[in-house]
Amino acid sequence: MPSLVVIGAQWGDEGKGKLVDYLTSNADVVARFQGGNNAGHTLVVDGVKTKLSLVPSGILRPNTRCVIGAGVVVDPEVLLNEIRMLQEAGVDVNPSRLVLDRNAHLILDYHRLIDQAREDARGDRKIGTTRSGIGPAYEDRASRTGIRLAELNSMEELREKLAENMKQRNLYLARVLESELQANFEEQWAKLERVRSVILPYIGNASLLLYNALEHEEKVVFEGAQGTLLDQTFGTFPYVTSSNTIAGAVSTGCGIGPGSIDHVLGVAKAYTTRVGQGPFPTELRDQVGQYLAEKGAEFGTVTGRQRRCGWFDAVAMRRAVRLSGVNALAITKLDVLCGLEKIKICIKYKLNGQELEDVPALASELEKVEPEYIEFDGWQDTLEGVTKWHHLPVNARFYLSTISEIIGCPVTIVSFGAERESTIFSSGASYVKNFVK
């Protein structure tokens, strides 16, 4: 049962989508296990860009089935639009290729409105969410009032439940959040009826499908969304998302046993980015930060916001590797560092003169840590046309081997461009190679 988990090891947008697409030419199934359309995964194939937020990044591989696990929160209209966008682009999307778990919860209009009203009310204490209703939808799941995909099978009961939920959420919007935003029942109902007619055949039992696939030795890739530092429990709380993003979430999000996970690949950029608010110890608020943002085209896929940029943070990375049992790292966007004279890696955090063992739990403390760096000579050569590890400039190889040494985890993949071709394996990458033809 060869399975591979691909997770973000930083604050999201590490290039998970690109790698999942790359690592599925020889895979049978690709499954999302958490998050929702707060994710924006970009695939570039033969110069054509595809942006996915819900459909797994294996969809461009014709022999791969895609699964949206029960741990994902599904905005049905976003899903419908994404299916249509793919079909219009000539991608075969049908119920035999895409299965949505019946237990996945829906994101409804009132979730989005609550997300927006809360962010607006927070003023300068905003989390900087994607305003897509992720947090409120997960709250409803936890408080047992959420609505699941399976409920689209019994519209009469659903109508009653939706009316009750909407009444309460509208009261909350008006009386507690003092917002003028209100969800409209008939509008929401009409939307649900419209999407229902299309997505009903896609709803199935993803947990059983995955169990059978793994029993039959099929190759399964689990695609993470967001990143470790945005994990609801272990991230930089409260500036996090509302789901667990670490590898352990594969089991709860897809309904498979933890023993079914064979290999965890952590994806990290060769530097660090963050979109939204919250502490960021290695942030560069200078020309180098601006250089990385421009050269790396660091603008959010979902909201278009400019991502904040900084140096690679080995302290946070060690934590990410530990939290998910990461077996190997894929370092992306190495091309963006080309041309810099000096490059730095943060190897230590100090707070009030004391070295810290791990990332502190309080955002107020993380704001104050003093990062300590080691400095490298950069490289000027372009990485275009590189097909083998030893083609990489010597300083780039030294940078990668130092990361691997400091973190105690091998770097087995390097990406240096958005296209599939700009990806190479190290000699230690034998496991992940199974997923590529």
Residues known to be catalytic: 13, 41
Binding at 18: pick from Mg ion, ligand IMO, ligand GDP, none (beta carbon under 5-8 Å per type): ligand GDP
Alpha carbon 157 to its chain centroid, in Å, reads 34
Q: Which of residues 49-88 bind ligand IMO (CB under 6 A)?
A: none
Distance between CA atoms of residues 268 and 15, nearest Å: 8
First-to-last alpha carbon distance for the chain, in angstroms, is 18
225 touches ligand IMO by CB under 6 A:
yes
Q: What are residue 424's DSSP bridge partners?
A: 414
Q: Which of residues 281-320 bind ligand GDP (CB under 6 A)?
A: 301
Distance between CA atoms of residues 415 and 113, nearest Å: 38
Q: What are residue 49's DSSP bridge partners?
A: 44
Count residues binding Mg ion (CB under 5 A).
Answer: 3
Instruction: Count how many Cα atoms sit within 13 Å of the Cα of residue 413 in the half-sphere of its side chain.
Output: 32
Closest distance of CB 212 from ligand IMO, Å? 27
279 touches ligand IMO by CB under 6 A:
no
Distance between CA atoms of residues 186 and 203, nearest Å: 24
333 touches ligand GDP by CB under 6 A:
yes
Distance between CA atoms of residues 413 and 434, nearest Å: 13
Kindly tell me which residue out of 8, 40, 135, 136 binds Mg ion, with binding defined by CB under 5 A. 40
Site string for ligand IMO, 101-140 (x = CB under 6 A): --------------------------xxxx-x-xx-----
244 touches ligand IMO by CB under 6 A:
no
Which residue's CB is nearer to Mg ion, number 43 or number 162? Answer: 43
Which residue's CB is nearer to ligand IMO, number 19 or number 314? Answer: 19
CB 247 within 8 A of CB 259: no
Q: Name which of 340, 362, 365, 334 is nearest 351 in CA terms.
A: 365
Which residue's CB is nearer to Mg ion, number 42 or number 170? Answer: 42
Site string for ligand IMO, 247-276 (x = CB under 6 A): ----------------------------xx
What does each C-alpha distance from 136 to 132, 206, 344, 401 come to in angstroms?
9, 24, 39, 42
Q: Are strands 41-45 and 48-52 parallel, antiparallel or unpaired?
A: antiparallel
Closest distance of CB 424 from ligand GDP, Å? 11
13 touches Mg ion by CB under 5 A:
yes
User: How many CB atoms sit inside 10 A of residue 237's CB?
Assistant: 15
Distance between CA atoms of residues 360 and 234, nearest Å: 10
Closest distance of CB 16 from ligand IMO, Å? 6
Give contact residues for ligand IMO (rule: CB under 6 A): 8, 11-13, 38-41, 127-130, 132, 134-135, 225-227, 230, 241-242, 275-276, 301
Q: Which residues bind ligand GDP (CB under 6 A)?
A: 8, 12-18, 40-42, 44, 301, 332-333, 335-336, 415-418, 422
